[in-house]
Structure 1
Amino acid sequence: MASEYSREADLALALKMADAADVISMARYQSQDLVITTKPDNTPVTDADKATEKALREILAKERPNDGLVGEEFGTSGTDAKRYWVIDPIDGTKNFMRGVPSWSTLIALIERNDDGTEQIIVGVVSAPALFRRWHGAAGLGAYVSLNKLAPKKIHVSGISTIADASVTYSDLNNWGEYLPKVQALLSDANRTRGFGDFWSHMLVAEGAAEVALEIGVALWDMAAISIIVTEAGGRFSSIDGVDGPGHGSGLSTNNIIHAHLLDALRTK
């Protein structure tokens, strides 16, 4: 059953939500009175995270009252609906807290097909402190906007070997049995950089890097990212090769070298 909303209308709403998020988050960025608390999983959350997600929830309640929602800060509702939104109000909260500009708001829309499978149909990554925003929608391509200028279409690179590739990653924590494989991969690459979080993956989508990998991530960390990477011609999977987000890890590549990366990271 087709949605009553067009793909273009859904994307326009996601961009409207990103506009609202940018206003709230930038008003609190580098604020001297930022309120920081610790969540039950021992990760930090700020008043900006909460205010941003609250505002986005209010927009969705008005614009798409029948859609479900998965939010990092205030939980899940209506994911048995035909469609549901996935929101990370501030991806890179630790950067946000320290005044590092590499943080973003992540917004995605997932649609459930008649056979029960799910498809991410819209994704927006808005990084106002970097003056950048990326977006993608199924079948419509992927784009980046710099300093609020007109969107420019992006595409992954054509580099075909690890020896020529630029590999980006979040950090070397929590890799467990994968760590020796990750370190060997970094040694084999032409260039490595620890950008981390959303930016690594967006560099892959832009063709500025060939690989982005991280572990210990949730659906809201990867949903918006994954469709932008795939619409740019890349491939997104877990480090075990399961396509799509929500599998605890993220591997973005230019597609050409994806199979090689999976082989390189295989632990058994």
Structure 2
Amino acid sequence: MSDSPDYTVADDLAVALTLAAEADLIAMDRYRSQDLGIQLKADKSIVTDADTRVERMIRDHLAEARPHDAVLGEEFGDAGSSHRRWIVDPIDGTSNFARGVPIWGALIALVVDEVPVVGVVSAPALGRRWWGATGHGAWVQEHGGEPRRIRVSAVDALEDATLSYNNLQTWDQYGHLDHLVALSRSVGRTRAFGDLWSYMLLAEGAIDVAGEFDVKPWDIAALVPVVTEAGGRVTSASGSSSLSELSVIASNGVLHDAVLTRLRG
């Protein structure tokens, strides 16, 4: 595809928020449905008919609104070639969705020249939507009310910090379980809120460190603008800004280097 026209970050954020609103309607219509279609993918994860419906809607909308942009989605892969790429997880937390746990939602990101510049995280079963865009701050809207700006915590000592580690099995799979245990001994509290919820709690200042392994670009891209615009920092476990290293560590920024040092053993 040829390069796209010039769009402002505000224009792109408006598109992403529109997509999130449509995604919420589709997903909530299927949430806790008795006839929800569930299939097992090759990697043993599950996909529901809601995942595929949401991603098709997003792709169709972007084909009209941003025809020159590329799209990468969890369910239907990569389409197009451009320095602007939308990265989409139609339902992050599909297992939760399928079992009636309300921690799930759409992750919609725009990445320009490999840098996430717009991120929307929408969790309708929790009644919350978060967004961040370069230069526009990070925000949360609860139950359709007035958006409020959010900020990471100012906690500056690990012994006072709360850590959310998500899935123990993947820390073990990637050889970091011992490092996680060591880190857990350094912090004040450990929890496993899971999926998008961990990172949005971090952006709101409710917890201080979150991380996991075995993640893909669509699991990470939308989180980055929200956390960074809230004043935090997001890298891989190695400290890279790459979206393709299969790990993500997010923090309030102040604690980040100390966390990475402990994870390197």
SS of residue paired to 1:236: strand
Quick one: distance in 1 between partners of 2:147 and 2:5?
26
1:211: which partner in 2? 209
Q: TM-score, normalised by structure 1?
A: 0.95
Identity %: 48
Code of the residue aligned with 2:84 in structure 1: it is R
Once superposed, what is the RMSD of the aligned Cα atoms? Answer: 1.3
Aligned-residue offset at 1:62: 0.9
SS of residue paired to 1:256: coil
2:2 maps to 1:4: no
1:167: which partner in 2? 163
Q: Is the 8 A contact 2:211 2:249 kept in 1?
A: yes
1:31: which partner in 2? 33
Quick one: distance in 2 between partners of 1:83 and 1:119?
9
2:186: which partner in 1? 188
Distance 1:170 1:163, change over 3 A: same
SS of residue paired to 1:85: strand
* Structure 1: gaps (5+ residues): 113-117
Q: Is the 8 A contact 1:223 1:246 kept in 2?
A: no
1:103: which partner in 2? 104
Of 91, 115, 119, the residue aligned with 2:115 is: 119
Quick one: distance in 1 between partners of 2:234 and 2:117?
14
1:54: which partner in 2? 56
Quick one: distance in 2 between partners of 1:129 and 1:174?
26
| Greater relative CO (CA pairs within 8 A, separation 6+) | 2
Residues 34-54 of structure 1: CA deviation (Å, up to 9, x unaligned):
110011111100000000101
Residues 129-185 of structure 1: CA deviation (Å, up to 9, x unaligned):
000000000111100111111211111111011110011121211223210110121
Q: Is the 8 A contact 2:170 2:212 kept in 1?
A: no
SS of residue paired to 2:250: strand
Quick one: distance in 2 between partners of 1:188 and 1:181?
11
Q: Is the 8 A contact 1:174 1:215 kept in 2?
A: yes
Q: Is the 8 A contact 2:159 2:188 kept in 1?
A: yes
1:247: which partner in 2? 245
1:115: which partner in 2? none
Residues 95-136 of structure 1: CA deviation (Å, up to 9, x unaligned):
001000000100000112xxxxx2211000000000000000
1:132: which partner in 2? 128
Q: Is the 8 A contact 2:119 2:223 kept in 1?
A: yes
